[in-house]
Amino acid sequence: MISHAALNASLNGLSAIFLACGYAAIRSGKRDVHKTFMISACSASALFLISYVTYHLRAGKVVMFQGQGWIRPVYFTILISHTLMAMVIVPMIIITLSRALRERFDRHRAIARWTYPLWMYVSITGVIVYLMLYRIFVPKTKFLTTEGTEEHRGKDGGGETENRCLRDSRR
């Protein structure tokens, strides 16, 4: 089963793909294709936002970044810029989309020049933050095995390792 964090990263990645396709479509003069991709990007981003907020309201836990040395300031620079841009981009997306839907294309184009790169940045850095936090610098977690002993797990957070341990213990 996919983790909540992986789902959120996938929605961010999907949004970035839709954004790139929408940009390519409008540059090729395919307005209807552009519209479809951009509405899809909005939908993916809205689903991400709902999923993210729901998870953090319910989970009440924070995963601490485990990287050490020079990577810590890199990670926190990406995280802080991602978070600040994410707050700025939501109203910009709404304004950009509403201007397009009202066919105010001159005003839409004026703000879209800013919205697109910022939205793309937020979508891509969302995936990067996920990879750094959950896949590259994975926190070691304590688990109790079926024998009641403590075990530390890394990379997969217990997923496949746990399944393998349980399969092996049943033999």
Encode pLDDT of 29-55 as tens digits.
Answer: 999 999 999 999 999 999 999 999 998
* Model confidence, pTM: 0.80
Report pLDDT digits (tens) over 96-123. 999 999 999 999 999 999 999 999 999 9
Dihedral-angle region of residue 82 (phi above 0 means left; psi in -120 to 50 means alpha; beta otherwise): alpha
Domains of the chain listed by start with CATH number: 4-139 (1.20.120.80), 140-171 (no CATH)
pLDDT-derived band at 62, boundaries 50, 70, 90: confident
Q: Average pLDDT, stretch 74-78? A: 97
> CA-to-CA distance for 24 and 124, rounded, in angstroms?
17
Specify the length of the chain in residues: 171
Contact assessment for residue 34 and residue 25, using Cβ atoms and an 8 Å cutoff: yes
Region of residue 3 (phi > 0: left; psi between -120 and 50: alpha; otherwise: beta): beta
What CA–CA distance (Å, rounded) separates 14 from 111?
22
